[in-house]
Structure 1
Amino acid sequence: MLRYTLMRLGIFVGCLVAVWGLVYSGVAPRGLGDSNGVWVVLLALVVSAPISFVVLRKERDRASAQIVRKAESLKANFEANRSQEDSADDAARAQEQAS
């Protein structure tokens, strides 16, 4: 998961540098008034999103599989704890009824 996040951040930074270069060279519009910094960041986000979607497909699938495995493990642990608590509760009730 960390690898995917760092790769996505790397693509965004690369797009940010490229967009900044295009804006300051005059190829891309500068935005309105003092909004130049925000314009560059938003444009970099818009450009990096589809690039990340296509380029990081395999890494995203790996991260997704890792999350699914972790969720299944947590669910199994929860079920084991719940059944253990149920057994302890049943034993306590049986002992209570025997007294």
Structure 2
Amino acid sequence: MLRYTLMRLGIFAGCLLVVWGLVFAGVFPRGFGASNFLWVLLLAMVISAPISFVVLRKERDRASARIVQRVDRAKANLEASRNQEDLTDDAARTQGQTS
């Protein structure tokens, strides 16, 4: 998951540099007054989102598969814990009835 996040941040940083250069060169319009930095950030986010969606598809699938494995493992551990607790409770109840 960290790898995916770092790759996504890298794509955003690259888009930010490209957009900043294009705004500085006059290809994209400048923001109003002091809003130029916000304009550049917003434009970089809008451009980097679809690029990340397409380029990082395989990495996103790998990350989601790892998350599914972790969730399944946690569910199995929780179920095993519940079963062990039930067996202990049943054993205690059985001993209490026979004594």
Q: TM-score range by the shorter chain?
A: over 0.9
Query: Aligned pairs, how many?
Result: 99
Identity %: 72
Show structure 1 runs of 4+ deviating over 4 A. Answer: none
1:70 aligns with 2:70: yes
State how 1:1-99 maps to structure 2 within 5 Å: 1-99=1-99
Render the CA deviation track for 1:4-59: whole Å, top value 9, x for unaligned: 11111100000000011111111111112211111111110000000000001111
CA distance in 1, matches of 2:50, 2:20: 18
Deviation readout 1:74-99 (Å, 9 max, x if unpaired): 11001000100111111111112122
Letter in 2 for 1:22: L
Ranges in structure 1 where 5+ consecutive residues have no aligned partner: none
